[in-house]
Chain A
Amino acid sequence: GAVVSQHPSRVICKSGTSVKIECRSLDFQATTMFWYRQFPKKSLMLMATSNEGSKATYEQGVEKDKFLINHASLTLSTLTVTSAHPEDSSFYICSAVAGERETQYFGPGTRLLVL
């Protein structure tokens, strides 16, 4: 149990376009999901907290207008990278809190390459 999926697993896009990444909890409902990014050989950096039915809260230094988060249901959160630039190229990972166990379970990640 407690499986989290992400789609797509990897995406290549042109500079200036927007990219949407989906995060789904497959066998449980998650009122809270988190989004992280990870640069090569670096640790995960928390970007934002996504709460179902309310606005996401962003960590300091993360542009909310650039990284749009929508948590429309108890099993789906989306991250949209708007007007992507090469410096947005990274590994994006989501996690979801399994309510009964209050433990974070992570998705497999999405590798974004902006050309």
Chain B
Amino acid sequence: DAKTTQPPSMDCAEGRAANLPCNHSTISGNEYVYWYRQIHSQGPQYIIHGLKNNETNEMASLIITEDRKSSTLILPHATLRDTAVYYCIVLIYNFNKFYFGSGTKLNVKP
């Protein structure tokens, strides 16, 4: 599986958009980009995933660059409850072994 690189931490003001970057420069053509988050002492929560097109759901938007070497998770209006560690994972669809990296600790501040 391709490795991912994420900044260890980010701050965001409540109500503003949070843009979380992920580099996956060795991603192969059949690997998807998944995003999960883990709120303290809970199991990870699925957010969104995509292959090459941008994706949006009720939680977030996923922007994947044209060369697919990086992506950005966008939380459009961050709230205090969005404070969590966000993980970007790339893997082949239907081969579900997740290897978690260190993730990005997002701190949403009032």
Contact = CB atoms under 8 A, between A and B. Distances in A.
Given A34-B97, A34-B98, A108 B103 contact: no
A49 B97 contact: yes
Nearest to B91: A104
Interface residues of A, number: 24
Contacts of A102: 93-94, 96
Interface in A21-72: 32, 34, 36, 43-46, 49
Interface size class of B (residues with CB under 8 A): 20 to 34
Given A102-B93, A103-B49, A108 B98 contact: no
A108 B43 contact: yes
* Chain B contact residues, majority secondary structure: loop
B7 interface: no
A97 interface: yes
Contacts of B98: 34, 44, 46, 95, 104
Given A43-B101, A43-B103, A106 B44 contact: yes
A5 to B, nearest CB: 10
Nearest to B43: A106
B43 A93 contact: yes
Contacts of B103: 43
With a 10 A CB-CB cut-off, give which of A45, A93, A103, A111 has the most chain B CB atoms: A103
Contacts of B49: 103
A35 to B, nearest CB: 12
A112 interface: no
4 tightest Cβ-Cβ pairs between the two chains A and B: A106-B43, A44-B100, A43-B100, A106-B44
Interface of B: 34, 36, 38, 41-46, 49, 87, 93-94, 96-103
Given A43-B103, A44-B100, 15 more contacts: A4-B43, A32-B96, A34-B97, A34-B98, A44-B38, A44-B44, A45-B100, A49-B97, A91-B41, A103-B46, A103-B49, A104-B46, A105-B46, A109-B41, A109-B42
